[in-house]
A and B are shown apart, each in its own frame.
Chain A
Amino acid sequence: MSSVLIKDLTLKYDHLTILDKLNMDIQEGEFLVLLGASGCGKSTLLNCIAGLLDISAGEIHINGKNVTWAEPSERGIGMVFQSYALYPQMTVEGNLTFGLKNAKVPKPEIAKRIAKVAEILQIESLLKRKPAALSGGQRQRVAIGRALVREVKVFLFDEPLSNLDAKLRADLRIELKLLHKRLKSTIIYVTHDQVEAMTLADRIAVMKNGVVQQLDTPNGIFHRPINRFVADFIGSPSMNFFEGELVTLETGQIEFKTAELVFNVSDYEFTNATPVSGKASLGIRPEAVSTGANIPDNFFSCDITVELVEPMGSDTLVWTKLAGQNFRFRMDGKATVANGDKLRIGFNPSSSSMFDAENEDRL
């Protein structure tokens, strides 16, 4: 059953279109991540779903009800903010109960819910404290708690981990994942952090300029990006691109030719079955490159000179030039390479991603 349904949602300020005819169908229990650079409209979309912004056109359904014009508190959602947004003059308990008191929930029921949430999030000992006396991680737990006590089926998270330091962020990420498993509620989660998106999401919606570029599983987004923007945006370091031309030979073989290189892409899974030709670009992930002796025969291979080595511990990033253009690839962390070393590298052009040079869509 669909939990959150968005139909043709549009948001305009004067003549500026912030969100343009968005459609999304989020299933019950799904963890959906809205991913994009700042200014892409992901937080705006979340605010629209929450009812904090009036939309210009379209409809929003939550749990089968049309809530397009309902008050935020009537929508059956809970929300967690980047800055935690805890009420500074209230204790943790006050923060947790404020919404329930507004909704006139009976006192015994409030006490029951607080106890339950405090237990889940392990904040029992903090209940009488003011937010100023809490650490960043504790504050974010309380903020999550404030959403949980509402006992709703849909939770909205607006970059909840961005204000935390790296270690804490990783810990809370795991906790969030466990929490989702336990509650089985729908979560819409906004972030600009790819790692968060990849690790948490059932599905990711990559956004740009108020438009959803691709809505797919993390795997699908990484391996089959729908256009060049998504391919370039996802992955760190980002994809290596070659500009060239697709040619279908008389033998039936398909080749991708740049000025200097020729890749055989006969085994590439084209989106459209019709034979293709024309200007295109080909992208290779740094992770798809293998080195040394164990390069299969059907791979494209060549010799390169190492220009720069970035050791990252778990793996090593190598910068080089291929046909005069920058090329990055990843090696095992234990590999011993130095600047100036000669290496043989190879990759399978058929498992790359190719995009139309004009509209940048996946071929």
Chain B
Amino acid sequence: MTEITEGARLRFRKKLIDRAIDLLLMVFSVLMVLPLILLVSNAFKSPQEMLAWPPTIIPHAPTLANFKAVFGETPLLRWIGNSLLFSGLSTVCIVATSAFAGYVLGKFRFRTMNIFFALFLATAVVPFEVYMIPLYFQAQALGILNSVWGLLLGYLVMSFGIFLIRQNVIHAIPDELLEAARIDGAGELWIFWRIVLPLLRGALGALGVLAFFQAWTSFAWPMIVTTTREHYTIEVGLALFQTGFTVDLGRLSAASAAVLIPSITLFVLLRRNFVQGVATTGLKE
């Protein structure tokens, strides 16, 4: 009898602790996204309401005036378009180069390949900021400053992408499968196209999402490569826009919200891909 009540008491205690943890996590989670929520909500406020305390989450008198002003004054859509084009092209390049290199490095055990792998590995830790100045002069020599090609130059390959695909090739594609295809007389390119790529679909998807967000949020490189207003990416455009209008928070918020809303939506939709990508590239063995 006493044992049962003891058990019930313990279970109740555990439940209580779990609820407390839930509450704590809930508060913390809301605090984490609160700055972004307030930013989006500010975008719809009149200057008077923005000063109100406590800040309102849902504006009393929502207005689109800030958006109208921002879209009228700045080539915001153009900047978003530039960013989309740049990020899309970068994604294609990174996925393609990583797929080929990752497959070869994972399945073809020749000594030359080991040397190449060591080369990729050794330079993976070098941050982009270290070599972007010489890269800038390469873009200049090619005459592709202030263009999407110049932006792309810095984001054609991704070391972690190669490692991610290689890791997946090793774990997900059995040698026997490839050998069987070879015995049946399949060519190497056919094997890559028809057997390897379909098996890598998940990993390539994760890498694609990762690559897209990497280019979309890049800052230092677009900052030095683009110098004319119509070639800015959205990040550079916004950053320079805010130095001009330090006071007009409404317009700044509207411009920021116009960027944040689509990218957060995209992220929530692609969350699984993204998390898988970060988790596996993060934990290389």
A binds B: no
